[in-house]
Amino acid sequence: MGVLCACQSSDRSKELAIDPINLALKDVIYRFPELPKDSVPMRFYQLDKSLIIGNKNVEIQLWTTPDSIKDKQQIVLFKNAENIFFGIPLFSNTYSSYWNFEFENLQKQEHTFQIELNLAMEKLKFRDSSKLQIRVIHEFLFSILNCSTITESDSIRLLGMSFPNYRTDNIEDSDSCTVRNQKICKAIMKDINQGKYSKVYRSSWDQKNQRIYQFIENKSSYDIRLKIYRNTCNMRVLEL
């Protein structure tokens, strides 16, 4: 019986090793060694959400690190109609340079979320159809990340102080946080009101991950242009 179980476990490991999802996760971890890892990613990362888009056979999967990891990291996998997967990391806000947050002094990084998102759209040929790319991005934001569209009524909440859901050594003071929140609110409200005949709503609030994604109009190509804001203040909170 023990030998039989060992064989089954071995066979299962072989199946996982060649599974396209496992290979896609491995590829992301190889490109971004900062991500927590295991020899078989599908045994380590947990499938949090999965969404199939219409009858296009296009799928989005969200994988997350186990609860034992305090600073949770995530990977999003996109799949096209040809069953080809491509993944990009959704790091926590600890990795601020990856997100290239606005109004923060950050070191330039070769790989950012905007670059990776555009790479995914290109590799999977989603941008061959502008409607498909728009649909994939929309479902990613609102179905997978549960974002909400920011409107004029959110201005007060944008100015409010929120604290990170992760540990950080980058401690800020309340004054610098207040100034940054004011800049964020001003930038987003200015964008909303720039429409000549109507309001323009291009900012999505990912409240769980404490980020705001502002899409910049790009008429010259299908490239996605983003401004991303961190919606937290890294103040030291005393634990009672």
Looking at residue 130, the DSSP 8-state letter turns out to be H
* Distance from C-alpha of 81 to C-alpha of 56, rounded to nearest angstrom: 6
In this structure, the answer to whether residues 80 and 190 fall within a common structural domain is: no
Mind listing the pLDDT tens digit for each residue in 6-36? 334 444 444 544 689 999 999 999 999 999 9
Could you list the residue range(s) of the whole structural domain that residue 177 is in?
Answer: 148-230
* Distance from C-alpha of 86 to C-alpha of 68, rounded to nearest angstrom: 26
* Distance from C-alpha of 110 to C-alpha of 130, rounded to nearest angstrom: 26
Which of the four pLDDT bands, split at 50, 70 and 90, describes residue 4?
very low
Which of the four pLDDT bands, split at 50, 70 and 90, describes residue 206?
very high
- Comparing 57 with 220, the larger pLDDT belongs to 57
Which of the four pLDDT bands, split at 50, 70 and 90, describes residue 81?
very high
For residue 208, pLDDT over 60 is answered with yes
Tokens of 214: 């502002």
For residue 3, pLDDT over 50 is answered with no
% of the chain with per-residue pLDDT over 90: 63
Report the range of poorest mean pLDDT among 7-11, 59-63, 64-68, 181-185: 7-11
Mind listing the pLDDT tens digit for each residue in 131-173? 899 999 999 999 999 999 999 999 999 988 777 766 566 778 8
In this structure, the answer to whether residues 30 and 131 fall within a common structural domain is: yes
In this structure, the answer to whether residues 131 and 45 fall within a common structural domain is: yes
Q: What is the structure's pLDDT at 163? A: 77
Amino acid identity of residue 185, one-letter, is: C
Amino acid identity of residue 96, one-letter, is: S
* Distance from C-alpha of 128 to C-alpha of 134, rounded to nearest angstrom: 11
Kind plus residue range of the DSSP H or E element containing 78: strand 74-79
Would you say residue 45 lies in a domain?
yes
Looking at residue 142, the DSSP 8-state letter turns out to be I
Q: What is the structure's pLDDT at 169? A: 62
Number of H helices, E strands in the chain: 8, 8
In this structure, the answer to whether residues 36 and 140 fall within a common structural domain is: yes
Length of the chain equals: 240
Phi first, then psi, for residue 130 (nearest 5°) are -60, -35
Among 128, 144, 160, the domain-final residue is 144
